[in-house]
Amino acid sequence: MSIIVQKFGGTSVADSQKILAAARKAIRAKKEGHQVVTVVSAMGHTTDQLIDLAKQITAQPPAREMDMLLSTGEQVSVALMAMAIHSLGDQAISMTGAQMGIITDSTHTKARIRSISADRIRKALDEGNIVIAAGFQGISPTADITTLGRGGSDTTAVALAAALHAETCEIYTDVDGVYTTDPRLVPEARRLKQISYDEMLELASAGAGVMHNRSIEFAKKFSVPVHVRSSFSDQPGTMICEEPESPDQPVCGAAMIKDEARVTVLGVPDRPGAALAIFSKIAARNVPIDMIVQNVAADGRADISFTVVRDELPATLKAVEEASRALGAEGYTYDDNVAKISVVGLGMKKQPGVARRMFRALADKGINILMITTSEIKISVLVDRNEALESLRTVHAAFELEKEPASVAPRGAVAASPANNGTADAVARMQNMEDLLIDDITLDESQARVTVSRVPDKPGIAAQIFEEIAAAGIVVDMIVQSVGREELANLSFTVPQKDLGKSLELLSKLAARLGCPPPTSCPAVAKLTVFGTGMRSHTGVASRLFRCLADVGINVDMINTSEVRVSVVVEGGQGRKALDALKAEFADVLV
The residue count for the chain: 591
CA distance 53 to 17: 26
Bridge partner residues of 138 (DSSP): 146
Using an 8 Å Cβ cutoff, are 125 and 131 in contact? yes
What average pLDDT does the chain have? 89
Which of 127-131, 284-288, 458-462, 476-480 shows the highest mean pLDDT?
127-131
pLDDT-derived band at 121, boundaries 50, 70, 90: very high
pLDDT score for 455: 87
| Residues 13-23, mean pLDDT to the nearest whole number | 96
CA distance 575 to 524: 10
| β strands within 3-91, DSSP E | 3-8, 35-40
The phi and psi torsions of 268 (rounded to 5 degrees) equal -75, 130
Q: Which of 378, 303, 375 is nearest to 527 (CA)?
A: 375
CA distance 378 to 354: 10
Using an 8 Å Cβ cutoff, are 152 and 140 in contact? no
- Give the rounded percent of residues in the chain with a pLDDT score beyond 90: 63
Cα distances (angstroms) measured from residue 76 to each of 73, 93, 158, 224, 445:
5, 13, 21, 28, 57
pLDDT score for 424: 41
CA distance 550 to 553: 5
What digits encode the pLDDT tens for the residues 306-348?
999 999 999 999 999 999 999 999 999 999 999 999 999 998 8
Using an 8 Å Cβ cutoff, are 494 and 569 in contact? yes
pLDDT score for 191: 94
Q: Which of 188, 341, 343, 324 is nearest to 267 (CA)?
A: 324
CA distance 317 to 251: 35
Using an 8 Å Cβ cutoff, are 47 and 73 in contact? yes
| Residues 85-99, mean pLDDT to the nearest whole number | 97
Instruction: Region of 454 please: left (phi>0), alpha (psi -120 to 50) or beta.
Output: left
What digits encode the pLDDT tens for the residues 199-258?
998 888 776 667 878 888 889 989 999 999 988 888 889 999 999 999 889 999 999 998
pLDDT-derived band at 561, boundaries 50, 70, 90: confident
What digits encode the pLDDT tens for the residues 267-309?
898 888 888 889 889 888 878 888 888 777 677 788 889 999 9
Contacts of 458 (CB under 8 A, 6+ apart): 368, 487
What digits encode the pLDDT tens for the residues 426-447?
444 556 677 777 888 999 999 9
Cα distances (angstroms) measured from residue 580 to each of 437, 548, 553:
18, 10, 13
| β strands within 35-79, DSSP E | 35-40
What digits encode the pLDDT tens for the residues 172-195?
988 889 999 999 899 999 999 999
What digits encode the pLDDT tens for the residues 372-430?
888 888 999 999 999 999 999 999 999 999 999 877 766 654 444 444 444 344 444 55
pLDDT score for 542: 79
CA distance 208 to 228: 13
Using an 8 Å Cβ cutoff, are 237 and 229 in contact? yes
Using the CB atoms, write b or e for 275-284: b if 16+ within 10 Å. bbbbbbbbbe
Helices (H), 307-366: 313-327, 354-364
Q: What angle do CA 459, 463, 464 make, to 5 degrees?
A: 100
Using an 8 Å Cβ cutoff, are 527 and 557 in contact? no
| Residues 524-545, mean pLDDT to the nearest whole number | 81
Cα distances (angstroms) measured from residue 310 to each of 32, 257, 289, 351:
47, 10, 11, 34
Using an 8 Å Cβ cutoff, are 267 and 339 in contact? no
pLDDT score for 427: 44
DSSP string of 243-300?
S-S-TT-S--EEEEEEEEEEEEEEEEE-STTHHHHHHHHHHTTTPPP--EEEPPPBTT
pLDDT of residue 140 exceeding 90, the answer is yes
pLDDT-derived band at 486, boundaries 50, 70, 90: low
What digits encode the pLDDT tens for the residues 54-66?
999 999 999 999 9
CA distance 180 to 253: 4
Residue type, 554: I
Helices (H), 127-209: 152-163, 197-206
DSSP-derived letter for residue 556 is P
pLDDT score for 174: 82
What Rg value do the Cα atoms of the chain yield, rounded? 25
The phi and psi torsions of 507 (rounded to 5 degrees) equal -70, -25
CA distance 553 to 271: 9
Residue 311 CB burial class (10 angstroms; 0-12, 13-18, ≥19): exposed
CA distance 385 to 262: 11
The separation between the first and the last C-alpha atoms of the chain, rounded to the nearest angstrom, is 31
| Residues 102-118, mean pLDDT to the nearest whole number | 92
